[in-house]
Structure 1
Amino acid sequence: MNEIPEFWRTEVFHPLSVHFPIVLLLMASLFKLIGLWSSKITWTHGGRVLLVLGVIGIWISVYTGDLADGIVSRELCDPTVLKDHENFAYIASWIFTGALLIELLKDYIHSLKKKITNILIVLALLAGSGVLAYVGHLGASLVYQQAAGVYIPAEDCSEFND
C-alpha cells in the first residue's frame, strides 16, 4: 500500500487551480465592461484587482496543466484535444496578460486616449473570455469524453469494500 493519497496526485492540481482564475477573469471582464458606462470608480478598480488576481491564477493553471500533461496524455484516445486545450490556454493567458499590461500602463496615457484604451481593454477581455470558454469546453471534453485524469474503479468496485 505505497500508493500516494488521491489529493497529492500531480494531475489533480490542475482542476484544483483552474476554477478560480476562470471566475476571476470573467468577473474582471464584466466589471470593466460595466466600468465603461458607470461613473463609479469601484467597477474599474475592482476590475483591475480581479484582472491581476486572474492573470496570476491563469498562469498557475497553465503550470499545473503542464504538470498533468505527461500523466494524462498517455491515456487519451484523441490527444489532439489535449494539444488544442493547451494551445488555446496559452492564447487566453497571453490575451489576459496583454490586457493587464495595457491596464497597468494606461495611467500614463493622456485622458483623451484613456477612453479608447478602456474600450480596447474590454475588447481584449471579451476576446479572452471567448477563448477561455473554448478552453473550458476542451477541458470538459477531455474529462467527460476521454476520462482524462479520472480514476476508473474496477467493475465490481471492490476497492471500496472493506
Structure 2
Amino acid sequence: MSYLIRNAHFLVIHIPIAMLLFSFVFDLLATILKKKDWHIAGLFCLVIGTLGAIAAVITGPEGERNPLFPQHELFGKLTMMLSILLTLVRLGILWRKKVDIGKNLVYLLVMLVGVGLLSYTGHLGGKMVHPDRSQMHKGQVQQQGGVGQENTNRPTGIPKTSGEGSR
C-alpha cells in the first residue's frame, strides 16, 4: 500500500492526460460531424479529466530538486485551474440555460489552450522522469540525471535501466 501512496502522482497523471485530450477531440468531432450525442462524451471526459487534474496536483511531489520542477508545477496548476473553470462554466450554462457549449468556437479554442498546457506539463514531467540520454557525454553529470548519477525522479520500485548508475 505504501508503494501506491508514494507513487500516486505517477499513477494518477494519466487520467487528465487522456480525459482532457479526449474531451476536446469528442467536442471537436461532434461539431464537425454534427454528432450531438458526442458532446455528452466530451462533457463526461471533461469532468473526469478535471477530477484527475486535481488529483494529479494534490499528489505531486513537493520539494523536488530537478530544475524543471518549478515550471512543471506551475503549468500543472494552470492546467488544473483552467480545466476547473471550463468544467464549472460548461456545467453552469448547461444547468441554467439547458445549452451545451461544447460546440462553441470560443469554448473549443480555450479547450485547445488547455490541451496545450496539459501537453507541455506532461512534456516537462516526462523530461524529469526520463532524461534524454542521447545528449549526455561519457562521464558528464547533468542535473536531470543520467550516466554516473542516480535518477532520483524515477517512481519508487522501477528498476534501473542498463548503464544507469552503474559507472
TM-score by length of 2: 0.73
- Which residues of 2 match residues 25-40 of structure 1 at below 5 A? 25-40=20-35
Cα shift at 1:63:
0.5
Q: Does 1:106 align with 2:117?
A: no
Mapped partners of 1:115, 1:64: distance in 2: 31
Mapped partners of 1:63, 1:132: distance in 2: 16
Mapped partners of 1:21, 1:37: distance in 2: 24
1:98-138 alpha-carbon deviations (Å, 9 max, x no partner): 11112112223486xx6697222211211000011100111
Q: Which runs of 5+ in 1 are unaligned?
A: 157-162
- Which residues of 2 match residues 34-73 of structure 1 at below 5 A? 34-65=29-60, 68-70=61-63, 73=64
Matched with 2:140 is none
Mapped partners of 1:34, 1:48: distance in 2: 13
**Percent of aligned positions with the same letter in both sequences?**
28
- Are the equivalent residues in 2 in contact too, given 1:25–1:55 (CA < 8 A)? yes
Structure 1 residues 20, 85: closer, same or farther in 2, change over 3 A? same
Cα shift at 1:9:
5.8
Mapped partners of 2:125, 2:17: distance in 1: 12
| Aligned counterpart in structure 1 of residue 153 of structure 2, from 128, 132, 149 | 149
- Are the equivalent residues in 1 in contact too, given 2:20–2:45 (CA < 8 A)? yes
SS at match of 1:69: coil
SS at match of 2:62: helix
Q: Which runs of 5+ in 2 are unaligned?
A: 132-143, 145-150
Cα shift at 1:38:
3.5
Mapped partners of 2:34, 2:165: distance in 1: 59
Mapped partners of 2:97, 2:50: distance in 1: 22
SS at match of 2:22: helix
Give the paired residue count. 141
Structure 1 residues 9, 109: closer, same or farther in 2, change over 3 A? closer
Letter in 2 for 1:82: F
- Are the equivalent residues in 2 in contact too, given 1:142–1:148 (CA < 8 A)? no
| Aligned counterpart in structure 2 of residue 83 of structure 1, from 70, 91, 107 | 70
Report the structure, 1 or 2, having the larger helix content.
Answer: 1
Mapped partners of 2:19, 2:121: distance in 1: 15
Structure 1 residues 69, 95: closer, same or farther in 2, change over 3 A? same
SS at match of 2:13: helix
CA RMSD, aligned part only?
2.6
Greater relative CO (CA pairs within 8 A, separation 6+): 1
